[in-house]
Amino acid sequence: MYHVDMNTIMRANNLTSNSKLTMGQVLVIPDTQGPVPVIPLYPSKKWQYIVIHHTATEAGNAMTINDLHHKRGFWNGLGYHFLIDNGTDGKQQGLIEVGPRWVKQSDGAHANADGMNQKGIGISLVGNFSETRVPEHMLDSLVFLVQTLQNYYGIPDSHVIRHRDVKGKHTECPGNNFPWQEFKHRLSMA
Ligand SMILES: [Zn+2]
């Protein structure tokens, strides 16, 4: 995502091929213009829905939300497959973070009704959109991410849903200020 090759990153950080990386370790990325979105795609028939969430927190990134989910007892940490950052906790606003569950193609832990953890890709925006509005950069990133996933997995617009739309779920998620009509309109224009 930084357009810097692995050997350059290894040299800049005194890493060898035997080095082990740990979660939360800070790496120096030399000579980069900054991250560009890279969305890894894996052939699969598993994914039929996309479920949109908010974290209901003011701040966060994949690491800190991972810790939060661990504390809530989610056995594998970050319950979503993707997280869209809001410019807090050292991340730029609109950055798309890919969670370990997506890389491993594991079930989510984000919507435990109607079998949605098994068939739904969980995407969460950092923020509490019961209280604030969704920043434009974050909505742009969400549209890009969702369209990329829809195109690859053949997921129709009708299967792009909010957490609150999952059958048997009583939640406001992703918040009453989430611009759902505008978002769905932008998907339909693709
Ligand atoms: Zn949710």
CA of 41 to the centre of ligand 1 (A): 23
Distance 154 CA to ligand 1 centre (A): 23
Is residue 88 within 8 Å of residue 126, measured between CB atoms?
yes
How far is the centre of ligand 1, averaged over its atoms, from the C-alpha of 49 (Å)?
14
**Three-class DSSP category at 54:** strand
Over 90: is that where the pLDDT of 190 sits? Answer: no
**pLDDT band at residue 146, thresholds of 50, 70 and 90?**
very high
111 C-alpha vs ligand 1 centroid, how far in Å? 7
**pLDDT value, residue 75:** 72
Answer yes or no: is pLDDT of 81 > 80.
yes
pTM score of the predicted model: 0.90
Residue 101, number of CB atoms within 10 A of its CB = 22
Looking at residue 141, the DSSP 8-state letter turns out to be: H
Could you report the per-residue pLDDT of 98-144, keeping only the tens digit for each?
A: 999 999 999 999 998 899 999 999 999 999 999 999 999 999 999 99
Separation of CA 155 and ligand 1 centre (Å): 20
**Ligand 1 centre distance from Cα of residue 7 (Å):** 39
Secondary structure tally for the chain: helices H, strands E: 6, 5
Tokens of 130: 């019961």
Residue 129's pLDDT is what? 98
Burial class (CB in 10 A: 0-12, 13-18, 19+), 186: middle
Helix pair angle (136-153, 180-188), 10° resolution: 50
